[in-house]
């Protein structure tokens, strides 16, 4: 007898191993009938019933549920008295038989979904996507949507999906969906799991969730949960504060790099030559427009190189404004050296002339620039401190311009002549330096640097004929604060003003920030009228 029972158990075990379990069968006709003609309560009940069956259904049934549910949600399910159709290319497919017809029957119409039904359907549709879709991106979108509302989706289903999900990003999103469920469960173990999940992702949203949980459950938490919540709250708050500070510093560095690029050419012309050039901002505009022309040319000549147009445009963005600068220095500025008032008026006139030439020839509208894929995103360092490639590109151009300018001024014969002419023009002429030629080349060099600024700003600012107007005042402030003629001083002043603006603007707004920064600059100049790095040897 005992041996017989053992044999029977072994037989049942073998049968259980080799005989497949019957997949859950969904009544397709009944489900479509309710969706087409049922009342609101029947439809909501059918959503929950279908969701409970789809996880154990076979693959064809899962795909059918996802396709028909998607058509139903989008208003593309057309019901008749006996069946329903959905679009399939240029034809229509019978969702029950799979047959295709070229045109819908005369009595076909899409069932109306009111707002409460849509609210009930959305979480169910996302849960079905999580169960069925092989694409991680689709599952991630569905999980992000479920974080706003679970609806009738059972938390147990999300926990099962969370346990088996292979993609780390989707798992993280599902964890955020479950956090609310775990916190509200009242189970200390689940609450501690939720607190650990929130602490592992220290964002501002999770900080708010923790604060609400602690404030709302005050006095009702177990000692272990309360201690874990307090510790996690302190950690997340500290991390968020650190990320906020680094974000402000990064934005200040980015804005400072923009100011430096706009002011660098002015530092060369105004600082080293003593010429107040009010047309300097228009050289920035010309550099941006040259970059746009390079982009448009590559679209026609070499579309495969369009992603690299920013780097291809660098020499053109420098040479274009440099050529205009040479013509301006030869035709206007050369005759007005040591006459600052007339130079001021003449360069202002040239500024207006350049603006109106661009307006008449190209137009006044903002130019459209192609943004390569590698500049469209960025990466998160920690918490909410993220680095975007567009801001990083402006910082890169600023560093490149700084290194290049210092090299030219301090490691080349041209730079030696510029510095010698600046410090003592007469003595430079006596030892064989052509001061006229040096002035022209220095003016061209400063104008070309402004063109590089225009290239760097093309993906950040609106590019139009008047884009440089807002930069000229800030550029002069940077040059004066840094010390007239000092390239390093210009860099330090731009960085300082950029950081100061980044710290003040979130608190008081853009207008108040400009006013406060200007007042700070006035107070600084009263104490150090020659700037941070006053020039040596200037009389």
Q: Are residues 255 and 204 located together in one domain of the fold?
A: no
pLDDT score, position 160: 83
Q: pTM of the entire structure? A: 0.72
pLDDT score, position 521: 86
Please indicate whether residue 423 or residue 128 has the higher confidence score (pLDDT).
128
pLDDT score, position 290: 94
Long-range Cβ contact pairs of 109-118 (< 8 A, separation 24 or more)? 109/78, 109/79, 110/75, 110/76, 110/77, 110/78, 110/79, 111/35, 111/36, 111/37, 111/72, 111/77, 111/79, 113/72, 113/73, 113/75, 114/40, 116/40, 117/40, 117/43, 117/44, 118/73
Per the CB < 8 A criterion, the answer to whether 174 and 162 are in contact is yes
Q: Are residues 116 and 145 located together in one domain of the fold?
A: no
The yes-or-no verdict on residue 156 having pLDDT over 70 is: yes
Q: What is the pLDDT of residues 496-531, one digit of tens each?
A: 888 888 888 888 887 888 888 888 888 888 888 888
Q: Calculate ∠ Cα 176-141-242, nearest 5°.
A: 50
The yes-or-no verdict on residue 319 having pLDDT over 90 is: yes
The yes-or-no verdict on residue 13 having pLDDT over 50 is: no
Separation of alpha carbons 247 and 107, rounded Å: 59
Q: Alpha carbon of 160 to those of 56, 168, 175, 397: distances in Å? A: 12, 15, 11, 50
Among 423, 452, 467, the domain-final residue is 467
pLDDT score, position 536: 62
Q: Are residues 395 and 293 located together in one domain of the fold?
A: yes
Q: What is the DSSP string of 222-270?
A: -HHHHHHHHHHHHHHHHHHHHHHHHHHHHHHHHHHHHHHHHHHHHIIII
Q: Are residues 419 and 301 located together in one domain of the fold?
A: yes
The yes-or-no verdict on residue 209 having pLDDT over 90 is: no
Q: Are residues 270 and 411 located together in one domain of the fold?
A: yes
DSSP state of 109: B
Asked if residue 508 belongs to a domain, the reply is no
Q: What is the pLDDT of residues 28-59, one digit of tens each?
A: 888 888 888 888 888 888 888 888 788 778 88
pLDDT score, position 287: 92
Q: Are residues 113 and 150 located together in one domain of the fold?
A: no
Q: What is the pLDDT of residues 396-434, one digit of tens each?
A: 888 988 898 889 888 888 888 887 877 777 787 788 787
Asked if residue 426 belongs to a domain, the reply is yes
pLDDT score, position 323: 94
Separation of alpha carbons 502 and 248, rounded Å: 6
Task: State phi, psi for 199 to the nearest 5 degrees.
Answer: -70, -30
Span 341-350, average pLDDT: 86
pLDDT score, position 16: 39
Asked if residue 506 belongs to a domain, the reply is no
pLDDT score, position 289: 93
Q: How many other CB atoms are there within 10 angstroms of residue 244's CB atom?
A: 15
How many domains does the chain fold into?
3
Q: How many other CB atoms are there within 10 angstroms of residue 290's CB atom?
A: 22
Give the H or E element holding residue 450. Answer: helix 435-457
**Residue in the structure block whose two tokens are 């053109």:** 316
Per the CB < 8 A criterion, the answer to whether 502 and 516 are in contact is no
Domain hosting 35: range is 22-132
Per the CB < 8 A criterion, the answer to whether 35 and 111 are in contact is yes
């Amino acid at each position: 007898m005992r041996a017989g029972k053992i044999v029977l158990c072994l037989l049942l075990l073998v049968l259980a191993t080799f005989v497949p379990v019957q997949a859950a069968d969904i009544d397709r006709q009944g489900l479509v009938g309710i969706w087409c003609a049922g009342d609101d309560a029947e439809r909501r009940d059918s959503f929950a019933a279908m969701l409970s069956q789809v996880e154990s259904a076979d693959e064809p049934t899962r795909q059918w549920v996802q396709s028909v549910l998607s058509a139903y949600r989008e208003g593309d399910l057309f019901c008749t008295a006996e069946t329903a159709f959905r679009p399939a290319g240029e034809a229509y497919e019978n969702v029950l038989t799979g047959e295709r017809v070229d045109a819908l029957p005369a009595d076909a119409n899409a069932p109306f979904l009111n707002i409460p039904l849509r609210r009930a359907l959305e979480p169910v549709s996302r849960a079905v996507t999580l169960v069925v879709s092989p694409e991680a991106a689709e599952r991630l979108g569905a999980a992000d949507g479920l974080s706003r509302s679970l609806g009738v989706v059972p938390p147990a289903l999300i926990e099962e999906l969370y346990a088996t999900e292979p993609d780390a990003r989707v798992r993280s999103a599902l964890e955020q969906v479950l956090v609310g469920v775990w916190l509200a469960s009242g189970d200390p173990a689940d609450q501690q799991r939720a607190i650990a999940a929130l602490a592992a992702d220290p964002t501002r949203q999770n900080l708010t969730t923790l604060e609400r949980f602690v404030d709302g459950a005050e006095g009702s938490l177990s000692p272990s949960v309360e201690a874990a919540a307090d510790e996690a709250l302190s950690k997340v708050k500290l991390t968020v504060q650190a990320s906020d500070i680094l974000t402000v510093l990064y934005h200040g560095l980015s804005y400072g790099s923009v100011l430096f690029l706009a002011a660098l050419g002015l530092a060369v012309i105004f600082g080293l030559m003593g010429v107040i050039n009010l047309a300097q901002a228009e050289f920035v505009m010309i550099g941006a427009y040259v970059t746009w022309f390079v982009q448009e040319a590559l679209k026609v000549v070499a579309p495969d190189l369009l992603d690299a147009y920013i780097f291809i445009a660098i020499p053109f963005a420098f040479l274009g404004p440099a050529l205009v600068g040479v013509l301006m220095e030869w035709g206007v500025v050369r005759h007005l050296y040591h006459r600052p008032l007339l130079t001021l008026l003449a360069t202002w006139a040239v500024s207006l002339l350049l603006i109106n030439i661009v307006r008449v020839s190209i137009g006044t509208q903002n130019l459209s620039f192609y943004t390569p894929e590698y500049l469209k995103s960025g990466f998160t360092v920690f918490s909410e401190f993220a680095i975007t490639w567009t801001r990083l590109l402006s910082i890169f151009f600023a560093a490149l311009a700084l290194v290049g300018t210092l090299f030219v001024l301090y490691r080349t014969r041209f730079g030696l002549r510029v510095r010698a002419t600046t410090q003592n023009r007469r003595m430079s002429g006596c030892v064989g330096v052509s001061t006229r030629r040096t002035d022209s080349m220095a003016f061209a060099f400063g104008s070309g640097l402004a063109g590089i600024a225009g290239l760097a700003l093309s993906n950040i600012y609106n590019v139009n004929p008047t884009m440089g107007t807002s930069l000229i005042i800030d550029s002069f402030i940077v040059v004066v604060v840094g010390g007239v003629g000092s390239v390093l001083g210009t860099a330090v002043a731009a960085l300082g003003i950029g950081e100061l603006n980044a710290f003040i603007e979130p608190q008081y707004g853009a207008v108040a920030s400009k006013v406060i920064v200007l007042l700070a600059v006035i107070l600084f100049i009263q104490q150090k009228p020659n700037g941070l790095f006053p020039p040596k040897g200037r009389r």
